[in-house]
Amino acid sequence: MEKDKGKPGLVIACGGTGGHLFPGLAVAEAWTAAGGRVLLLVSEKPIDREASRKYDAYRFETIPALPKPATFSPRMLPFLVSVWKTIRTCRGLLRSFQADAVLGMGGFTSLPPVVAAKKAGIPAFVHDSNALPGKANRITSRWCDEVFLGMEAARSHFPGKTCVVTGTPVRRELTTLPERSAAAAKWGLDPHRPTLLVMGGSQGARKLNSLVAEAPLDAAVQVLHIAGPGDESRVQEEVGEREGYRIVGFCDDMASAYAVADAVVARSGASSLTELADLGLPSLLVPFPFAAEDHQTVNARVFEEAGAAILEQEKDLDGAKVASLVSRMLEPQERTRMAKAAKSLSIPDAAKRVCEAIGGLMEKGGSNR
Ligand SMILES: CC(=O)N[C@H]1[C@@H](OP(=O)(O)OP(=O)(O)OC[C@H]2O[C@@H](n3ccc(=O)[nH]c3=O)[C@H](O)[C@@H]2O)O[C@H](CO)[C@@H](O)[C@@H]1O
């Protein structure tokens, strides 16, 4: 590919899930706005295709998603062979794009591009958005010049590394929401009624969906329920015909969804939490129980301790309890108090901070490895 001379080229590895892709896209927006070029590396997973559809102005390349098997599993050898092959593919991509820096947004999909950057003598960075960083990022950080963090709580997990708390980048479209009335009209909802947004992360959440579907919510409360790809019709069956209850599969207009919400029931993935903090939305957080090392509980605890959220484990909930907690969050005084606490956790301009940190290191003369 022709290099657009003078424009610094950043490769962003952000495949595997919305929690990597969307912050990666936010960095792409900030980097190009500052005059740079970007190449986004995603996986072949359907969620990456679905979630990146709206962003076709950017150049995307796919590399394999690399789920790491257990250390002594017979699948370890094929995994290492795939990592090695993907590092070679990435070296070719970095060369043809004439990359000046590489940023991994998490997961083992970030490892090969970061290692390829080290081999090419290009500065490399990793961003971790969770309070308890993933194993992949802890390993990948060994090849990185600096580590960017979404939350201060993660710092102690990267001993000996230079860590910068940048916050987690949020897409530009979520920084200014549409009018509530326009958003309500889009979803066929009444802007004057209290509205609950239900979201299970970019890949949905079956059990959480059912808990809300069976909750005997106050009749005045409307619901916008993002069921996730593939779970829409099952949730619709569970809910039945209920006035003021909208169900969608994957939502490609989160700005309109947030604009109509007064309170949220959600998993506690880091990007969702960052958005709730930025927008000052009270939440009932139900961590995905099988998330690696239970990191979603650690994330949710940060919000619970700040008074921004109610934290409940899925196993301790039933429909009736969900309904009572939702009523509590929607009570005006409680809602205001929680909204303020959520806002206090917001780190604005995270994408800009990431870009400035990368640019700063590039100016200092690139990789210090
Ligand atoms: C199950 C699991 O292990 N999930 C992890 C995954 O994020 P996962 O993708 O599950 O969840 P996150 O909350 O981090 O991100 C969801 C993102 O998708 C967007 N969205 C969601 C639904 C939808 O229909 N449309 C849409 O655009 C949200 O606005 C948000 O930006 O990586 C995160 C970052 O390491 C972790 O914190 C999560 O714990």
Predicted confidence pLDDT, tens digits, the chain (369 residues): 445 667 999 999 998 888 999 999 999 999 999 999 999 999 988 888 888 888 988 999 999 887 788 888 888 998 999 999 999 999 999 999 999 999 999 988 899 999 999 999 999 999 999 999 999 999 999 999 999 999 999 999 999 999 999 999 999 999 999 999 999 999 999 999 999 999 987 776 999 999 999 999 999 999 999 999 889 999 999 999 899 999 999 999 999 999 999 999 999 999 999 999 999 999 999 999 999 999 999 999 999 999 999 999 999 999 999 999 999 999 999 999 999 999 999 999 999 999 999 998 887 765 544
What residue ranges define each of the domains in the chain, with the CATH number in brackets?
9-168+348-363 (3.40.50.2000), 174-343 (3.40.50.2000)
Ligand 1 center to 174 CA (angstroms): 14
Report CA torsion sign: 133, 134, 140, 142.
positive
ipTM confidence: 0.98
CA of 131 to the centre of ligand 1 (A): 14
For ligand 1, atom 35, the nearest C-alpha belongs to 19
**Residue 129 Cβ contacting ligand 1 at under 6 Å:** yes
Q: Is 19 part of any known ligand binding site? A: yes
Contact call for residues 129 and 18 (beta carbons, < 8 A): no
Cβ(254) – ligand 1 distance below 6 Å:
yes
18 is in an annotated binding site: yes
Tokens, residue 204? 């949905």
Determine whether the shortest distance from the Cβ of 17 to ligand 1 is under 6 A: yes
Tell which atom from ligand 1 comes closest to the C-alpha of 292: 3
Q: Which residues of 111-135 are buried (b: 16+ CB within 10 A; e: fewer)?
A: bbbbbbbbeeebbbbbbbbbbbbbe
DSSP 3-state of 59: strand
Residue 168 Cβ < 6 Å to ligand 1: no
